[in-house]
Structure 1
Amino acid sequence: MNNDSKQTRVKMTTLAMLTAISCVLVFLTLPYPLFPAFKYDLADIPILIATFSFGPLAGIIVTALASFVQAFILGQDNWIGFVMHMFATGSFVIVAGNIYRLNKTKKGAVIALAAGTVTMAVVMCIANYIMDPLFYGMQKEAVAAMILPAILPFNLSKAGINSIITFFIYKRISKLIHKAQGTPGSH
């Protein structure tokens, strides 16, 4: 087996494993004391690892697969949850993945994760403002009133926690992935 086919096989296997881990982690939810209506889960961390390891396209693929499985197979959500997860994690992955792809250093990772965190929080404010009235029957004024005290801080903190955890575990996991692929590590 040549090196390219081995790398492709390892990449596909790794992305499948990270998707599966994300699907398992969605069940490990923690209550948010400041935001009782929201729950925190670690499911985006494997997606961020896929993004940093293989680029933003791989991150989007894992996001789509994990969102689909979580929404339609595991019954964690419905199609609205699928769409919202794609907006939230997808926006994070695109921004963070593209920034990190251009600067694979610790500083680049911090910048990428910070930019992804802010992007996700802003995108979710907009998505909630548009989607909540359409699909949950909420008044736009009620959603607008929740943006600053709840939606924005929740998404900033969720993405921020996921970013911090990813930052501290990515290097170790990256070494294993690159060793399996037979390529030099990064970050």
Structure 2
Amino acid sequence: MTKRQLRVYRIAAMGVFTALSIVLVYFIHLPIFPAVPFLEYDPADIPIIICAYLYGPQHGLILTVIVSVVQGLTVSAQSGWIGILMHILSTGALVIANSGLRVLLLKRKEKAGVLSRAGLVNVVSLVAGVVAMTATMGLWNLLFTPMFMGVTLDVVLPLMPFIIAFNVIKAAINSVIALAVYKLMPQKLIERLS
């Protein structure tokens, strides 16, 4: 395959991953904690993580921005620019930490050898993604939630345990499902898509 064909193929594949993310968030979005109904679980990050596993964290981040903007202008328009920005920050942190660390560990043969044999590369990168998303969203929710809800920080602070738990749950579920789907993909399909 020529470089041009490969580029066209990747753009088309990223279009498919974008469509999958939008369809998933359109049909599946539900609040986990009644105390914070504005925090809804959705599986839109799953295709983004798979894309990042296939093409690298930079492609995952590009897809994150595209999906966040499309979702923010269509499916989740009520959250406006803050919703778009929060989605970019949360999924961006998840994708960069998860797939970025995975790529780094797999490239460092001397260190990845021990981790690979123990099957820990995926676990370590998955945990890093969950921690990155949770930490990022904990901080950004302190800043943006008061603006979004039109309340003071005193109102947001009691919600922080829910916000942190929500992000751990969402990041973990989406990361585990994405990794499972990726691992179940036939090697020939992965090679064809890569």
What TM-score bracket applies, with the shorter chain setting the length?
0.7 to 0.9
Structure 2 Cα separation of the partners of residues 168 and 144 of structure 1: 35
* Distance (Å, rounded) in 1 between the aligned partners of 2:172 and 2:142: 21
CA contact (8 A) 2:36 2:159 kept: no
Instruction: Say which SS state the counterpart of residue 151 (structure 2) adopts.
Output: coil
Checking the alignment, whether the CA contact within 8 Å between 1:92 and 1:116 is kept in structure 2 is: yes
Aligned-partner Cα distance in 2 for 1:170–1:14: 15
Q: Percent identity?
A: 32
Contact 2:25 2:75 (8 Å CA) reproduced:
no
Q: Distance in 1 between matches of 2:157 and 2:172?
A: 22
> Any stretches of 5+ residues in structure 2 without a counterpart?
107-115
Report how far residue 75 of structure 1 moved: 4.4
Counterpart for residue 94 of structure 1: 96
Partner amino acid, structure 1, of 2:151: M
The residue aligned with 2:131 is 118
Q: What is the CA distance between 1:145 and its match in structure 2?
A: 1.5
Is the Cα contact below 8 Å between 1:44 and 1:162 reproduced in 2?
yes
Q: 1:84 corresponds to which letter in structure 2?
A: M
* Map 1:160-171 → 2, pairs under 5 A: 160-171=172-183
User: Counterpart of 2:2?
Assistant: 3
Counterpart-to-counterpart distance in 1, 2:127 and 2:32: 21
CA contact (8 A) 2:101 2:125 kept: yes
Question: Equivalent of 1:155, from 167, 175, 187?
Answer: 167
TM-score norm. by structure 1 comes to 0.86
Number of matched pairs: 180
Gaps in structure 1 of 5+ consecutive residues: none
Residues 53, 174 of structure 1: 8 Å contact kept = no
Mapped to 1, the partners of 2:191 and 2:145 lie a distance apart of: 45
CA distance in 1, matches of 2:57, 2:137: 19
User: In the alignment, is the contact (CA less than 8 A) between 2:50 and 2:179 conserved in 1?
Assistant: no
Q: Which moved more, 1:139-148 or 1:71-80?
A: 71-80
Alignment of 1:121-136 (within 5 A): 121-136=134-149
| Letter of the 1:71 counterpart | G
Distance in 2 (alpha carbons) for counterparts of 1:176 and 1:30: 35
What RMSD in Å do the two structures reach over aligned CA positions?
2.0
**Matched position secondary structure for 1:84:** helix
Change (3 A) 1:157 1:74: closer
Deviation at residue 39 of structure 1 after TM alignment: 2.1
- Alpha-carbon distance in structure 1 between the residues aligned to 2:155 and 2:29: 26
Question: Which stretch has the larger CA shift, 29-38 or 161-170?
Answer: 29-38
